[in-house]
């Protein structure tokens, strides 16, 4: 049964996605892991369209974690090449839907050709304000929080920040993308029930939606079902109604 977006009263402003299950999908289909990642790239395209159609302002996807560098070099190299190919394929769609591209993570660790290709699209879409597509690359939330703590400590040491005035907002202001609102909804595919070092600070009050669907099979209708489930949630932020 399809979801009627007009019947949804509460649409999240920001949706985060843990795209899981590419390897298992490939194994079940008798394909290589990189083929699973290639099919997963098509799901990204579908979700981009779905998010734009639903009026989502921010969509963040967990594309490559700091831990993923430990994977076999051949797979890492394949993922980097797939990222470049995906950007070549998606860029016109970003322009058509006025979607801004941003990246969060250890940008400097990415191979130079990847950084150059990313920067080209980041610059080309920088003026769009309707929608923002954030790709977490070489990203780890514990590293992000540690980096924020380091920057805060440096400012305090230099006398630019009073340690007594450090609060939650101070930490939030020193994360990778401090201007981006926290996600109201986090979707994880393939049925796994963990955060995997993703947006630990930002997801503190997010609603979680877990689906057994592998990422390569995840399409617009699955995304809309997640929005429907979110619409039915009662968000109290620790209060009582």
Structural domain spans, the chain: 12-141+182-231
Supply the residues annotated as catalytic.
20, 68
Question: The domain 12-141+182-231: what is its CATH number?
Answer: 3.40.1180.10
Segment-wise mean pLDDT, segments of 10 residues, the chain, 241 residues: 78 97 95 94 94 96 95 92 91 93 96 95 96 97 98 97 97 98 98 96 97 97 96 70 56
pTM for the structure as a whole: 0.94
Q: Which residues contact 218 (CB under 8 A, 6 or more apart)?
A: 19, 43, 46, 47, 189, 211
**Is 31 exposed, middle or buried (CB count within 10 Å of its CB: 0-12, 13-18, 19+)?**
middle
Q: pLDDT digit string (tens) for 62-81?
A: 999 999 999 999 999 999 99
Q: Are 19 and 63 in contact (CB under 8 A)?
A: yes
Question: Given the structure tokens 């997010």, which residue do they identify?
Answer: 206
Q: Are 190 and 17 in contact (CB under 8 A)?
A: no
Q: Residue 63 and residue 48: Cα distance in Å, rounded?
A: 14
Q: Residue 218 and residue 39: Cα distance in Å, rounded?
A: 10
Alpha helices (H) in the chain, listed in sequence order: 22-28, 33-54, 73-96, 112-124, 141-157, 168-173, 220-231
Q: Which residues contact 232 (CB under 8 A, 6 or more apart)?
A: none
Q: Are 218 and 46 in contact (CB under 8 A)?
A: yes
Q: pLDDT digit string (tens) for 85-134?
A: 999 988 998 999 999 999 999 999 999 999 999 999 999 999 999 999 99
């Amino acid at each position: 049964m399809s979801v009627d977006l007009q019947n949804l009263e509460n649409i999240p402003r920001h949706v985060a996605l843990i795209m899981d299950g590419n390897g298992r999908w490939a194994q079940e289909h008798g394909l290589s892991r990189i083929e699973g990642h290639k099919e997963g790239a098509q799901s990204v395209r579908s979700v981009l369209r779905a998010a734009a159609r639903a009026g989502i302002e921010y969509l963040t996807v967990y594309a490559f974690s700091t831990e993923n560098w430990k994977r076999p070099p051949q797979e890492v190299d394949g993922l980097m090449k797939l990222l470049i190919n995906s950007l070549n394929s998606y860029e016109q769609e970003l322009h058509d839907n006025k979607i801004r591209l941003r990246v969060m993570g250890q940008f400097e660790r990415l191979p130079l050709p990847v950084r150059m290709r990313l920067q080209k699209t980041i610059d080309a879409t920088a003026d769009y304000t309707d929608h923002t597509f954030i790709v977490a690359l070489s990203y780890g939330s514990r590293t992000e929080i540690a980096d924020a703590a380091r920057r805060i400590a440096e400012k305090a040491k230099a006398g630019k920040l009073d340690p007594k005035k450090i609060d939650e907002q101070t930490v939030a202001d020193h994360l990778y993308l401090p201007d981006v609102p926290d996600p109201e909804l986090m979707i994880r595919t393939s049925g796994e029930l963990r955060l995997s070092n993703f947006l630990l600070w930002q997801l503190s009050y997010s609603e979680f939606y877990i689906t057994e669907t592998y990422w390569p099979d995840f399409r617009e209708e699955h995304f809309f079902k997640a929005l429907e489930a979110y619409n039915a949630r009662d968000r109290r932020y620790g209060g009582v109604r």
